Amino acid sequence: MATVESISELKQLIIGIDGKVGILSNKLDNIEDRFTRIVTEIKSEVDEVKTDVTNTKLEVQKLREDHLELEKGVGHIELEINRVLLEKHERKYNALVYGVPESDNEDIHAVLNTFFIQDLKIDKEKAESFPIANAHRIPSRQTSDQIRRPAHIIVRFIHHGDKQYALSKGYNLSNKHMRIVDDLPPVMKESRHELAKLAYKIRNEEHLQTRIKVVGTRILLQTRTNSKDNWFLRREALCCLPYK
């Protein structure tokens, strides 16, 4: 039969076990809490990673779309440049003459001969030897309040060398309200016109010599101090791209 002492010892043992169970339970609760926090943090990080992946995919898609748009833009510019080059080639033998006085019933070939000899200072025999395929005046658009200017002349030479020779004599027109230039596609004419206005300003304000040179689809405005100086690039315009 159990004694009072043994029962007391058993109670103490049970109390001790309960205490240990409580401690273990608390430890398990702490472990569970930590595990729950870790799982929650991992889930949060996974969600962030998923969000980052989604955003990255969107950015990649946007970059691909931008790349395609850029390719289309470059392709369009290349096509436009090729078109302009083709048109420029078709106008290869043409020159435009501005400022030559006009009269009723004029003989345009006689007018050009006079221009070549008297204004461009080309030798008479050489000027009269230029075979001209065609020439005629093109009326310029002007407002009613403008002083009427003579219509410019478009000349188509048979030989490209003759045209280049005539253009090379253009410096003899520096003190006259006349000029002879390449016939260019409209988009290049616009760029040349802008550069011509800038060249006029430079000559008046900076007292420099200027010239406009065409290379491919590039139009160059060059300046120099005097005839002994080298030409320096002052401004460049490229057709099919914004004027800068």
**Running DSSP on this structure, what letter comes out for residue 178?**
-
Is the pLDDT higher at 80 or at 198? 198
Q: What is the mean pLDDT of residues 42-60?
A: 85
Please choose, from the candidates 205, 204, 179, the residue with its C-alpha nearest in 3D space to the C-alpha of residue 193: 179
What pTM was estimated for this model as a whole? Answer: 0.65
Q: How far apart are CA 202 and CA 99, in angstroms?
A: 22
Tell me which fold the domain 92-183 belongs to.
Alpha-Beta Plaits (3.30.70)
Using only C-alpha atoms, the chain has a radius of gyration, in whole angstroms, of 43
Phi-psi region of 106 (alpha: psi -120 to 50; beta: other; left: phi over 0): beta
- Output phi, psi for 117, to 5 deg: -80, -50
User: What pLDDT digit, counting tens, does each position of 5-17 carry?
Assistant: 777 777 777 777 7
Q: What is the mean pLDDT of residues 10-33?
A: 76
Is the pLDDT higher at 50 or at 160? 160
For the chain, the domains span 1-90, 92-183, 185-244
Q: How far apart are CA 45 and CA 25, in angstroms?
A: 30
User: What pLDDT digit, counting tens, does each position of 86-108 carry?
Assistant: 999 999 999 999 999 998 899 99
